[in-house]
C-alpha cells in the first residue's frame, strides 16, 4: 500500500516528510522568534503530514496554513507554536481545553506538553478524522467532543489554560468561567475588521489582557454544523 511505503520512507528519513524536513521547520520557527524549547520539541515530534490530506503531505512542513476540507484550515506552524508558547507561559499545565479541533494538529502538539488535552469541534466529519489520527498516533491523553466550543466543556472545568483556534467577535463568558484563577485564555479576537491574537489572564479582579499581534483565522461559529 502506498500509504505504508510513505510511512516507511519517513522512518528511513527520506522524502518530503522526513525528520530532516521537520528539522528545517523547527529551525525556521526558532529564527522567527519561537523560544520555548519544549514547544519546538513537540513540533519536532508531531508528524504534521499526517494531519493533512495525502495530496498535500509534501507541503506539510512549509510554514503555511493548508486546507483541511469543510472550508477550514490547519493553522500555520508558526502560529501554532506562538499560541502554544503563550498558553504555557513557561509553566507546566495539567489540563487544557482547545476550541476548534480541526485537523487535530494543535491538540497533538499540546498532548506532548500538558497532561490532558480536551478539544471540541462543531464539524462532525473533521472530528471523526482527527479522532482517528489521535488513535493512530497513540495520543491517549487527547479527549474529543462534538460540541459548540462557545460553551466550553463544563463537566471537565476548571482548566489550567484554554486555547481557541477560530476568531470570535467576543470573549465567550463560559470559557472565562471554566478557566481557573491565574490561568490564560489565548484566542484570536475580531475587532473592527481585523483579528488580534490576545491572551487573557483570569484574576480575582479584572482579567488582564495582552495583545500578541495580528492574525488570520477562520471564524468561530455558533451551534453545531
- 4 vs 169, beta carbon nearer ligand SAH: 169
Q: What angle do CA 128, 131, 135 make, to 5 degrees?
A: 140
3-state SS of the chain: helix, strand, coil percent to 5? 40, 25, 35
Active site residue 75: yes
Would you say 182 or 213 has its CB closer to ligand SAH?
213
| Smallest distance from ligand SAH to CB 51, Å | 7
Distance CA 223, CA 150 (A): 8
Applying CB under 6 A, the residues found at the interface with ligand SAH are 72-75, 99-100, 102-103, 105-106, 120-123, 126, 148-150, 165-166, 218, 220-222
Give whichever of 9 and 36 is closer to ligand SAH, judged by the CB atom.
36
Q: How far is the CB of 218 from ligand SAH (least distance, A)?
A: 5
Q: What are the C-alpha distances in Å from 50 to residues 67, 106, 180? A: 13, 13, 33
* Secondary structure letter of residue 46 according to DSSP: S
**Smallest separation, CB 189 to ligand SAH (Å):** 14
CA separation for the pair 118, 99 (Å, rounded):
9
Block residue for cell numbers 519536532? 44
The residue with its CB nearest to ligand SAH is 102
- Taking the complex as a whole, the smallest distance from the CB of residue 72 to ligand SAH amounts, in Å, to 4
Q: Whose CA is closest to 48, among 36, 37, 62, 34? A: 62
* Catalytic option among 18, 57, 75, 155: 75
Q: Which residues share a beta bridge with 191?
A: 194
Cβ atoms of 71 and 14 closer than 8 Å: no
Of the pair 60, 93, the CB lying nearest ligand SAH is at: 60
- Which residues are identified as catalytic? 75
Amino acid at each position: 500500500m502506498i500509504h505504508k511505503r510513505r510511512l516507511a520512507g519517513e522512518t528511513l528519513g527520506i522524502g518530503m516528510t522526513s525528520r530532516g524536513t521537520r528539522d528545517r521547520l523547527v529551525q525556521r520557527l526558532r529564527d522567527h522568534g519561537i523560544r520555548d524549547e519544549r514547544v519546538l520539541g513537540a513540533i519536532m515530534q508531531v508528524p504534521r503530514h499526517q494531519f493533512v490530506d495525502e495530496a498535500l503531505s509534501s507541503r506539510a512542513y512549509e510554514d503555511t496554513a493548508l486546507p483541511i476540507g469543510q472550508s477550514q484550515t490547519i493553522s500555520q506552524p508558526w502560529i501554532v507554536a506562538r499560541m502554544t508558547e503563550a498558553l504555557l507561559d513557561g509553566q507546566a499545565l495539567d489540563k487544557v481545553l482547545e476550541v476548534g479541533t480541526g485537523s487535530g494538529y494543535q491538540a497533538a502538539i499540546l498532548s506532548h506538553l500538558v497532561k490532558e488535552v480536551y478539544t471540541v469541534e462543531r464539524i462532525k466529519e473533521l472530528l471523526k478524522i482527527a479522532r482517528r489520527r489521535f488513535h493512530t498516533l497513540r495520543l491517549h491523553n487527547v479527549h474529543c467532543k462534538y460540541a459548540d466550543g462557545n460553551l466550553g466543556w463544563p463537566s471537565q472545568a476548571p482548566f489550567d489554560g484554554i486555547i481557541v483556534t477560530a476568531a470570535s467577535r467576543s470573549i465567550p463568558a463560559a470559557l472565562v468561567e471554566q478557566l481557573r484563577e491565574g490561568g490564560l485564555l489565548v484566542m484570536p479576537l475580531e475587532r473592527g475588521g481585523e483579528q488580534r491574537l490576545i491572551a487573557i489572564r483570569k484574576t480575582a479582579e479584572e482579567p488582564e489582557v495582552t495583545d500578541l499581534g495580528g492574525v488570520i483565522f477562520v471564524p468561530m461559529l455558533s451551534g453545531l454544523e
